[in-house]
Structure 1
Amino acid sequence: MHLKTCWSPCFWHPSVRSGSFAVALYSLLMSICIITYTVYVMVGGDASQLYLPLFEASLSTTTQHAGRFLIIYFIYMVIVSGLLMWGIKADIRGLMIPWLVGMGIIIVFQAAFGLWLIFGYYIYLEVVFAALVNWSWMSYNVYCYYTVQYRIQEFILKKFLL
């Protein structure tokens, strides 16, 4: 795959470098939103829709443990998103790789969660729609992953061919 430009749902970026920076900002802000939602659910907020990730968790035990894990993981994503921004600005490839690992885990989780929705609740039509929306979001995350991966490839080509 060869990328020259990058798009996001609202913006077009003329280079992979500026697109990768937008991807870093997107993952930083999305991680903050997910941390906020997780804290909301942990203190008793609504998670009663069957397509929500913490739907079958009991508030007193499982939600607290899963919520702590999610908060720690997305704090990690906030940190590596900041490292990704720094790595893009300074052209340091090693600062971009932790973000690729973290986003790869998110993509695998989204694929598994969509399959769990389909196979666990296949009799409800709205779950099929929720899984399709989840997989659409996952597809955008895959595109973001490839954008950053291609930025690393550009960096390597620039370093070794010049």
Structure 2
Amino acid sequence: EGGSNVEVLECFTNLGPIQDFCVVDLERQGQGQVVTCSGTLKDGSLRVVRNGIGIDEQAQVELPGIKGLWNLRDSFAAEFDKYLVQSFIGETRVLEISEEELGETELDGFEHAAQTIWCGNVLGDCLCQVTEKSLRLVSCSMKALVEEWSPGGG
């Protein structure tokens, strides 16, 4: 009779935007829980996700001093990731994903002797790397630096 056919079964708190997260075993029961750093500014909070997710840890690697980690595809349209970029103070390391192994490699056009602040796949089939001193665009197809921008002094 003009009523809605939709019935609310359950409500969930919105955790977005999630700025960061980690998996921990808070109750030491061998069951990982996700702790999120959610929200922004005065509405920011830490949230523990206790149910609704399944965690299947594939590997755990200690990386002392790591400042950032990004996944990259070898082309903008690629379905799967090909590289893991690791940022440390004063250097950037790249791991190549092949079959079921990771191996260290060099990405031509990347600045490996500087800390990466951000990197990612961008339109134009390029990889973008941001360091303290420059922004670099690397062609995925040519595997070479195509453009570099550095801020002017002052």
TM-score surpassing 0.5?
Answer: no
Structure with a larger share of its residues in helix: 1
Q: TM-score, normalised by structure 1?
A: 0.22
Q: TM-score, normalised by structure 2?
A: 0.23
Instruction: Give the number of the structure with larger relative contact order, counting CA–CA contacts within 8 Å between residues 6 or more apart.
Output: 1
Structure with a larger share of its residues in strand: 2
